[in-house]
Amino acid sequence: MKNTNFLSISDFSEADLTHILDTAITLKKELRAGGNKPILQGKSMALIFQKPSLRTRVSFEMGMHQLGGYAFYLSPDEIGLGKREAVKDVAQVLAGFVDAIMARVFQHQHLVELAEYSKLPVINGLSDYSHPCQAMADALTIIEEFGTMKGINIAYIGDGNNVAVSLMEIAAKLGANFAIANPAGYDIPQTDIERARMFAGVSGSQLRFSNDPFESVKGANVIYTDTWISMGQEAETEKRVQIFKDYQVNQGLVDAAAKDVIVMHCLPSHRGQEITDEVQDGPRSRVFPQAHNRLHAQKGVMACLLADM
């Protein structure tokens, strides 16, 4: 995997994803035992942001630091990706300065262009299509809780957005069963569903699609939700709150799942909308360990792309 891109979960085999996760687990144990070896010493990464971030920026900066490398933040105003300067020009300029690029963008095509023209490893920190780093942290959290992804029942409640796509893909790749409940018209795109069905055919994963949250959480070991209003959708807030009001992860929904269920959220959350305080702060919540695992999962990605891991 060295010098490859990390743009989508669908680009990687089960063996590749398992190797990255195993590397993340190893690096997490090593960090807690006293510190990581500087396997990325001399390596640098440009962090391009079109969208604001807490977890993505801090986890990548700290991850590179802990592995001996250097990462630096480039704000939207500094680059104006695709506006002030063409994406392909930004890519070719950065190629002469750094060893890798992480980008958090609105349009997935900008990531594709950065990879094409820079010839550097490009990591998707979030795009309108997918959020693969989040999915890796999600899988790491589930594995730490249950010991495996195989046969684990994951129920996603809410919008069929980029987070849902990547979660579905990693579940299908690693043999977890994936169910989603969303309002009509807010489905995961059909092309992504068909692709995931192909992955599930190999791994044995089962995929279910519904408009009923209580149906989807039956037997669920994991309940997962995300904000109803993503960045760029603020004008739809009032409309979305009404449409999604029956898709709240509350204690009643948690009680309808398996007794060992854990609750996950990629954050930031809108408490009182998609999730209640009682659940997010409750004993079944793994929201903050999940957030912390962004650091460890991404270190696994960086180690596999930039070092001989």
Q: What is the pLDDT of residues 91-136, one digit of tens each?
A: 999 999 999 999 999 999 999 999 999 999 999 999 999 999 999 9
Preceding amide of 189 cis, omega within 30: no
Predicted pLDDT at 83: 76
Q: Is the pLDDT of residue 82 over 90?
A: no
Nearest C-alpha neighbor of 199 from the set 22, 9, 21, 5: 9
Can you tell me the distance from the alpha carbon of 111 to that of 104, in angstroms, rounded to the nearest whole number? 9
Pairing of strands 153-157, 70-74: unpaired
Is 292 in the active site? no
79 or 261, greater pLDDT: 261
Predicted pLDDT at 235: 86
Q: Which tens digits make up the pLDDT trace of 203-242?
A: 999 999 999 999 999 999 999 999 998 877 788 889 999 9
Is 304 in the active site? no
Both 137 and 127 in one domain: the answer is: no
Catalytic residue chosen out of the listed positions 133, 265, 266, 298: 266
Is 104 in the active site? yes
Catalytic residue chosen out of the listed positions 50, 66, 99, 134: 134
Both 201 and 265 in one domain: the answer is: yes
By the 8 A CB rule, do 71 and 45 touch? yes
Both 192 and 220 in one domain: the answer is: yes
Q: Which tens digits make up the pLDDT trace of 237-258?
A: 899 999 999 999 999 999 999 9
Both 218 and 197 in one domain: the answer is: yes
Can you tell me the distance from the alpha carbon of 86 to that of 10, in angstroms, rounded to the nearest whole number? 27
Both 148 and 276 in one domain: the answer is: yes
Catalytic residue chosen out of the listed positions 226, 248, 286, 296: 226
For the full predicted model, state whether its pTM sits above 0.85.
yes
Predicted pLDDT at 51: 87
When mean pLDDT is compared across 74-83, 178-187, 197-206, 286-295, the lowest value belongs to 74-83
Both 97 and 178 in one domain: the answer is: no
Provide the Cα torsion 305, 105, 55, 245; round to 10°.
-130
Predicted pLDDT at 219: 98
Nearest C-alpha neighbor of 140 from the set 307, 296, 304, 309: 296
Confidence of residue 63 (pLDDT cuts 50, 70, 90): very high
Can you tell me the distance from the alpha carbon of 192 to that of 185, in angstroms, rounded to the nearest whole number? 15
Distance in angstroms between the alpha carbons of the first and the last residue of the chain: 9
Both 172 and 100 in one domain: the answer is: no
Both 156 and 268 in one domain: the answer is: yes
Predicted pLDDT at 232: 72
> Crossing angle, helix 162-174 and helix 14-32, to 10 degrees?
100
Tell me the mean pLDDT in the region 76-83: 81
Catalytic residue chosen out of the listed positions 110, 131, 286, 296: 131
Angle (nearest 5°) at CA 170 between 11 and 57: 80
Catalytic residue chosen out of the listed positions 110, 294, 296, 298: 294
Confidence of residue 141 (pLDDT cuts 50, 70, 90): very high
103: number of Cβ within 10 Å: 26
Residue whose entry in the numeric block shows the structure tokens 């997935």: 108
Angle (nearest 5°) at CA 189 between 185 and 192: 155
Burial class (CB in 10 A: 0-12, 13-18, 19+), 302: buried
Tell me the mean pLDDT in the region 178-202: 98
Predicted pLDDT at 236: 87
Is 134 in the active site? yes
Total of domains in the chain: 2
**165 in a domain, yes or no?**
yes
> Crossing angle, helix 162-174 and helix 190-203, to 10 degrees?
20
Burial class (CB in 10 A: 0-12, 13-18, 19+), 100: buried
CB contact burial 108-131 (16+ within 10 A = b; e otherwise): bebbbbbbebbebbbbbbbbbbbb
Predicted pLDDT at 278: 98
Q: Is the pLDDT of residue 78 over 90?
A: no
Can you tell me the distance from the alpha carbon of 39 to that of 16, in angstroms, rounded to the nearest whole number? 20
Tell me the mean pLDDT in the region 138-155: 98
Predicted pLDDT at 80: 77
Domain that holds residue 243: 133-290
**14 in a domain, yes or no?**
yes
Residue 23 tokens, joined: 């590397």
**153 in a domain, yes or no?**
yes
Tell me the mean pLDDT in the region 157-162: 97
Look up the CATH number of the domain holding residue 168.
3.40.50.1370
**4 in a domain, yes or no?**
no
Tell me the mean pLDDT in the region 56-77: 96
Both 122 and 143 in one domain: the answer is: no
30 or 79, greater pLDDT: 30
Tell me the mean pLDDT in the region 284-308: 97
Residue 40 tokens, joined: 């990325």
Catalytic residue chosen out of the listed positions 55, 104, 240, 284: 104
Instruction: Count CA atoms closer than 13 A to 271's CA, side-chain side.
Output: 7
Residue whose entry in the numeric block shows the structure tokens 């990548």: 60
When mean pLDDT is compared across 52-56, 160-164, 281-285, the lowest value belongs to 52-56
